[in-house]
Structure 1
């Protein structure tokens, strides 16, 4: 669990609610189902229209990584890489066949398989770089739904406010309803701006950072696999991996 992300969103929402109370407002005045439906459903519709179902569903699934990011122990990974290079140097590249059975990462499995199949180091690096590029494109398209939601939500919030004001104007004959009606209308703007800046855009930025870290890990592995395929000294490969961490 990433407690920093959890505490951050609690502080952001809590600060707004506490501020509302300190100003003498009521929390109930911020609960408007109609405004929520306009902003939330409208934003989902706009994002779905832009991104398509595949990217949308993938982006929603990735939101869980904000609070439960994958843990990558680079020290253990470097030890594994060094171990693979030693095995390949002492027993030959085909000996890595037994290592593949214990790997649960598809990228690592693919890299080791290319080594075992005797693919030339240069060609191996090209294949892995293409896979990294394709993976990055797919991930960033999925993440973009959160960035798009952060752009659409405030505008749809304004749309909701205008719809609310139209409803208020229809009731000008009853002055007692004007004040509360206007207040309700502007709740849609609060929802739009709040969702965008407290939820959608922070999630987008966090996911971008996580994907960048994952891409960095894959580039490090691609370099290691290329070195193993070239028959580089295990000590040299280990030193290169340590340079990545610095």
Structure 2
């Protein structure tokens, strides 16, 4: 669990609600189902319109990383790569074939299989870099649907505000209906701006940061596999991989 994300969203929402109370308002006045439906439903629809089904699905699946990021076994990966380099140095690259079934990551499996197949180091790097670039692009597109939501939400909030004011104008002769229309107008704006700046944009930035870390981890593994293909000393490989940080 990423505690700082949980603390952050709690603090942001609490600050707004407490500020509302300190100003003499009521928390209940910020709860407007109609405004919520307009802003969140409209934003969701706009994001779906601009995205393919695969990208939208990826973005929705990635949101869990905000609170439960993927495991980043940096030290363990370095240990594994160095171990493979020792095995290859003593027994040859073909001996790495027995290591493949114990690996869960398809990317690493592919890299080891290329080593076993005797692919040249530069060709190995080229193939795996294409794999990394494609994977990174897919994840970034998924993360950016939240960035897009952050762009649409404030505008749709204004749309909700205008709709509320239209309702007010239609009922000028009936004062009893003016309050609800004005409430929807202002709360829709709050929902649009608030959801964009407190949820959608921070989520996008968080996910892009996680993607960057995951890509760096794969680049580290790629560097190690190329080192093995070049016959580098295991200590040199380990030293280089530790330079990627944890």
Unmatched segments (≥5 aa) in structure 1: none
Residues 1:109 and 2:137 are matched in the alignment: no
Where does residue 243 of structure 1 map in the other structure? 243
- CA shift at 1:172, angstroms? 0.7
1:160-208 Cα distance to aligned partner (Å, 9 max, x none): 0000000000111123543453133111001101110111000000000
Query: Hey, what's the Cα distance between the residues in 2 that align with 1:72 and 1:137?
Result: 20
Where does residue 189 of structure 1 map in the other structure? 189
1:1-246 → structure 2 map (5 Å cutoff): 1-245=1-245
Whether the aligned pair in 1 keeps the contact of 2:160 and 2:184 (CA below 8 Å) is: no
Query: Hey, what's the Cα distance between the residues in 2 that align with 1:33 and 1:237?
Result: 58
Q: Secondary structure at the match of 2:244?
A: helix
Structure 1 stretch 85-94 or stretch 22-31: which is displaced more? 22-31
Query: Hey, what's the Cα distance between the residues in 2 that align with 1:103 and 1:73?
Result: 13
Whether the aligned pair in 1 keeps the contact of 2:160 and 2:189 (CA below 8 Å) is: yes
Query: Hey, what's the Cα distance between the residues in 2 that align with 1:186 and 1:57?
Result: 32
Query: Hey, what's the Cα distance between the residues in 1 that align with 2:180 and 2:25?
Result: 12
Query: Hey, what's the Cα distance between the residues in 1 that align with 2:184 and 2:132?
Result: 49
- CA shift at 1:239, angstroms? 1.2
Query: Hey, what's the Cα distance between the residues in 2 that align with 1:243 and 1:27?
Result: 51
- CA shift at 1:55, angstroms? 0.6
Query: What do you get for the CA RMSD once the two structures are aligned?
Result: 1.2
Q: TM-score, normalization: structure 2?
A: 0.97
- CA shift at 1:93, angstroms? 0.4
Query: Hey, what's the Cα distance between the residues in 1 that align with 2:176 and 2:33?
Result: 22
Structure 1 stretch 168-177 or stretch 116-125: which is displaced more? 168-177
Unmatched segments (≥5 aa) in structure 2: none
Q: How many residue pairs were aligned? A: 246
Whether the aligned pair in 1 keeps the contact of 2:34 and 2:184 (CA below 8 Å) is: no
